Structure 1
Amino acid sequence: MRIEPRSAPSRALTLGIPVLSALIALLLAAVPLAFAGANISTAYVEMFRGVFGSTFAFTEMLTRATPLIFTGLAAALAFRARLWNIGAEGQLYLGAMAAVAVGAGFLDVPAIVLVPTIILCGCAAGAAGMVASTALKTRFGADEVVTTLLLNFIILIFLQYMLEGPLQDPMGLGWPQSAPILDQGMLPPLMERMRVHSGLIIALVCAVVAQFMLTRSVWGFKLRAVGENAAAARHAGIPVNRTMMSVAIVSGALAGMAGVSEVAGLKGYLTADLSPGFGYTGIVVAMLAGLSPVGVVISALFIASVFVGADSMSRAMGVSSYLADLVVAMSLLCVLIGGFFARFRLARVAPAKGEVA
């Protein structure tokens, strides 16, 4: 037997791998559930009820999926151009800091002006974080995996300084949190007495626009060409560095928008624990979606369902909610393995003459 590349993976195989990976990850999660002494069927029923058992549960899943769509899109577009953005977590916080800096009293204007201003400033801040790393890559050849990852820690330290300094709430009794965003600066809720907000609509629109731009625009063609073979794209006259910089701006802006949606759509103020790792989970979302913007929406809904359902199962059965992290990690592992077999296959080698088969 030998491993050889497939000439052209079928569409069914390409689309089926993420679905099969998610199902296998859920099946593998039954192993730690069994070791924890939980009834497996009951555990999965509780997980399902925790997502679809009530309107509140379903809207909580949508609320959790909103930042994952933004960070998943940020990773998917960057990865398509082979620009490895591992810094969506830091870019998220940059967007959140810009949102509270503008929306917590700096501008006291009507909502029709303040909300778009907050969104634009948050996206610009997130984009600036990614542009810095991309400039180091295009100008000096620095590895963006290293620079974006390390920049996350720099941004988090800067965030802590800001929350105990210029952005600290003067009415917060010394607690490291920002002043609240003005009421007219908050993203409107989608349902009364529910936490789901209009950031979800913005995320869905961004996914549709990203899908169209990626598949139906000159910019998307250049992005995909650079991702497939940067040297060949440069030889064909495509400005590789300029294309990568444009992708960096869009990717960072989407990650920054994730921070805006959390602080201006959900909490109303900024703390150092705003994100439980949305930036890093967005990478899993993008990989599970096969780097497809529309697929990112489906993938984000699945990951959010796992997290929300695992929390519900934990409360009902006393099982650790860290099972959700295990399912997410196994989903990524299954996608990577499945992606390998989508590109390669095992072929039987005929024995040479004189050899025993």
Structure 2
Amino acid sequence: MRLERRDQSSLALIVAAPVAAIIVSLTLSGGLIALAGANPFDAYFEMVKGAFGSRLSISETLTRTTPLVLTGLAAAVAFRAKLWNIGGEGQLYLGALVAAWLGHNIASVVPAPLAILVILLAGMVAGALLLLGPVLLRIRLGVDEVVTTLILNFIVLLFVSMMIEGPMKDPLAFGWPQSVSVDRDVLLPKLLARSRLHIGLLIAVAAAVLIWFVQTRTVFGLETKAAGLNRNAASFAGIALGKTMLGVACISGSLAGLAGAIEVTGLKGYVTLDLSPGYGYSGIVVAMLAGLNPLGVVITALFVAIVFVGADSMSRALGVPSFIADVIVSISLLTMLVCLLFTTYRVRR
């Protein structure tokens, strides 16, 4: 038996890969749920019910979907060009910190609509700048960006901790480590009254559509695809790989920074060290499940949000540990990698 590379993967095979990965991951996780003493079908019913069973649960699921779409897009854009950005978490936190500082200081001098735009753009710039460093190191010195972006996550978290414990600490937080709050005038409008759902969801979906357009309808999008498929061939064809990688870094980092800025201005209102429950890392799973397709990222981000939100309801109803959500997402990534193998290769005797 041997693996033979396919000349071309069919659309049906590409679409079936994430579906198969999710089904297999749910099946395998069902075995763990059974070992925990619960019926897997009851557990998954409670999970879906917890994610869509009420107006509140629907709004919470969509609220959780928003940052996952943006961090998923950040990973998808970078991975498509074979730029391994593992620093989405750090870029998110830096974007959030910049947004909190501006949101606290800019509202009194700039009209609210313009202030919101400036805050979101500043968060994007912060995320982009954080990724540009590792990419320049890779281009100039050949330093592995997996290592540098991963290490930067911890450096940024330590920096955020220093800022919210020091210069940006809220004096009204009774000693709790959190940043100053953004002005109420620069908070993002709500999509649903009496809920936490805000227009950040629409911004995330619009970003997915825009990224899809850039990747499929522009020269830059084709250049990034060529750089990801074969660097030598792309360079021979006249593509400036350095400039292309820098452009990809700016887009990827800015999307993760935007996720942080939106979390602050749309949801939290300030920065704490638990602002993100791992959105930067979960975005990698979202991107891989979507096959790096920007429109698919929206769907897979919703799936991951359903798992995370519904797991709490499942845990309360059946006594199953809520950590099963992390297991389902992790297994989904592993099974998706296997499915991607078979979309690229076929088994021959």
TM class by shorter chain equals over 0.9
Partner residue, 1:260: 261
Aligned-residue offset at 1:11: 1.2
Match of 1:309 in 2: 310
1:351 alignment partner in structure 2: none
Structure 1 segment 120-269 matched on structure 2, within 5 A: 120-269=121-270
1:98 aligns with 2:63: no
Give the deviation of 1:345 after TM superposition: 1.6
Give the CA RMSD over aligned residues.
0.9
CA-CA distance at 1:55 after TM superposition = 1.5
The structure with the larger Rg is 1
- 1:248-302 C-alpha deviation (Å, 9 max, x unpaired): 0000000001101111110111101100100000000000000000000001001
How many positions carry a matched residue from both structures?
A: 348
TM-score by length of 2: 0.98
How far apart, in 2, do the equivalents of 1:120 and 1:323 lie? 36
Distance, in Å, in 2 between the alignment partners of 1:40 and 1:335 is: 21
Residue-by-residue CA offset, 1:127-154 (whole Å, 9 max, x unaligned):
1111111111111111000000001111
CA deviation after TM superposition for structure 1 residue 174, in Å: 2.4
Matched, 1:74 2:74: yes
Distance across 2 between alignment mates of 1:204 and 1:39: 35
Amino acid at match of 2:27: L
Matched, 1:30 2:36: no
Q: Which runs of 4+ in 1 moved over 3 A?
A: none
Q: Is 2:2 the counterpart of 1:6?
A: no
Partner Cα distance (2:41, 2:119) in 1? 46
Gaps of 5+ in 2: none
Helix, strand or coil at the partner of 2:346: strand
Whether 1:337 and 2:338 are equivalent positions in the alignment is: yes
Unpaired runs of at least 5, structure 1: 349-357
What is the distance in 1 between the residues matched to 2:141 and 2:205? Answer: 36
Tell me the CA shift for residue 106 of structure 1. Answer: 4.1
Give the letter aligned to residue 58 of structure 1: I
2:47 — aligned with what?
A: 47
CA distance in 1, matches of 2:156, 2:28: 36
Distance in 2 (alpha carbons) for counterparts of 1:22 and 1:287: 12
Between 267-276 and 168-177, the greater mean CA deviation after superposition = 168-177
Q: What is the rounded CA distance, in whole Å, between the counterparts of 2:134 and 2:318 in structure 1?
A: 45
SS state at 2:105 partner: coil
CA apart distance, 1:175: 1.8
Alpha-carbon distance in 1 for matches of 2:249, 2:275 = 23
CA distance in 1, matches of 2:184, 2:147: 39
Amino acid at match of 1:34: A
- 1:272 corresponds in structure 2 to 273
Tell me the distance in 1 between the aligned counterparts of 2:104 and 2:321: 37
Q: Shift of residue 107 of structure 1?
A: 4.0
Per-residue CA shift, 1:149-169, capped at 9, x if unaligned?
001111111111101111111
The 2-side partners of 1:232 and 1:247 are apart by 18
Q: Percent identity between the aligned chains?
A: 53
**What is residue 21 of structure 2 aligned with on the other side?**
21
The answer for the alignment partner of 2:65 in structure 1 is 65
What is the aligned partner in structure 2 of residue 89 from structure 1?
A: 89
Conservation of the 8 A alpha-carbon contact between 2:106 and 2:115: no
Partner Cα distance (2:111, 2:41) in 1: 52
